[in-house]
Amino acid sequence: MKNWTAQEKIDYLRSQGLAELHRHFDGAIRPETLWGLSQKYYSAIPGMKYEGFVNMLSWDREHDRTLLDYLDKFHVPLQYTQFYDNIQQISYEICEDAYRDGVRVFELRINPVIHRRAGLTNRQVLNAVRGGMKRAQDKFPDLQMGVTVIAIRGHGGNMAKILLREVVGEMAVFHDSPGVVGFDIAGAERPFPPILFQEAYALARKMGMRLTAHAGEDSGPENVWQAIDLLGVDRIGHGVSSAQDPELLKRLAKDKITLEVALSSNVQTGAVAAIKDHPLRKFLDAGVKVTLATDNPTVSATTLTQEYLLAIETFDLTQDEVDALIRNGREASFIESPPLPETVS
């Protein structure tokens, strides 16, 4: 693809039916939607202009250095995602944005607990998300969608199990519209390693959910090992530090565990110092299955096609390699035919 123009690359990517497996609800909301909600309820800061408001939502090259700096960008959106109708509208818009960018297989992940401050239940939050997805499905019938439920690491393993039991009724297998297909843990990684969530993952598996986990983004390869060996995940969110361990690369390749890589986000959270230092090329050369994702397109000011362009330009990807990244995403998706849950006692 070296001699292709940028537009030719974009046109090609959008014609392929991209798969996006790692996009967070909170980090993908249109700034103009949040601005409108801010004006409806109250201004985030009285007298603030739209440009200043957008800056509060986006990563700042001058001031933001760590994962915690990055996560701090979610505080403003959370003021407006506590209400059923807002969640439903935002869910629809996120799906619409993905579709317009060429995505045809789309998994949206969300932790419902943090959207309950106005009295919604976990199930109501997910029902609102599903409602927005159903509206998107009606408008874009060729868009396949599913929800991955996130448990926040800092809430602990017991809360993760409670969350799972509360949302089982929103699983896709029980509906003729998009629903929950996967389970994930996210948040501060170092103090809360995967070993703390073994029971929760065993329960999620018994319920019929497919499994992923944020690991190796803000910690060493030991957390990726734990996610594989103790949680039994199908995919790893980020997994950047896996490149430090040759045996782990062999294991990822052997077991066909897909890494959900978000290049811009990995730089912005400090997982890698610069885009040229990202181990994407090392993953590909080791035979590890990788797919690209946006993580938080509003925070990172990116789109999935932009992430592919960044990968192509930085790592001189061939068309075959780009096709493999797209194919990996489609094949690793949790959306197709989730298994029926077992009886959960």
Six-digit token pair at 84?
Answer: 């059923």
Contact 54, 76 (CB under 8 A): no
How far is 271 from 243, CA to CA, in rounded Å?
Answer: 12
> What SS3 class is residue 115?
helix
Contacts of 99 (CB under 8 A, 6+ apart): 106, 136, 140, 143
Among 93, 170, 217, 260, the active-site one is 217
Show the tokens assigned to 206: 């018994």
Q: Are 255 and 289 in contact (CB under 8 A)?
A: no
| Environment class of 314 (CB within 10 Å of its CB; exposed 0-12, middle 13-18, buried 19+) | middle
Q: What angle do CA 79, 148, 290 make, to 5 degrees?
A: 115
Amino acid identity, residue 345?
A: S
CA angle 71, 72, 78 (to 5 degrees): 95
What is the DSSP annotation of 223-254?
HHHHHHHTT--SEEEE-GGGGG-HHHHHHHHH
CB 207 within 8 A of CB 342: yes
- 240 neighbors 267 (Cβ within 8 angstroms): no
For the question of residue 342 being annotated catalytic, the response is no
Q: Residue 281 corresponds to which tokens in the numbers above?
A: 């090329």
Token couple for 17: 């039916």
Q: Dihedral of CA 113/115/121/122: which sign? A: negative
- Tell me 65's DSSP state: -
Q: Which residues are catalytic?
A: 217
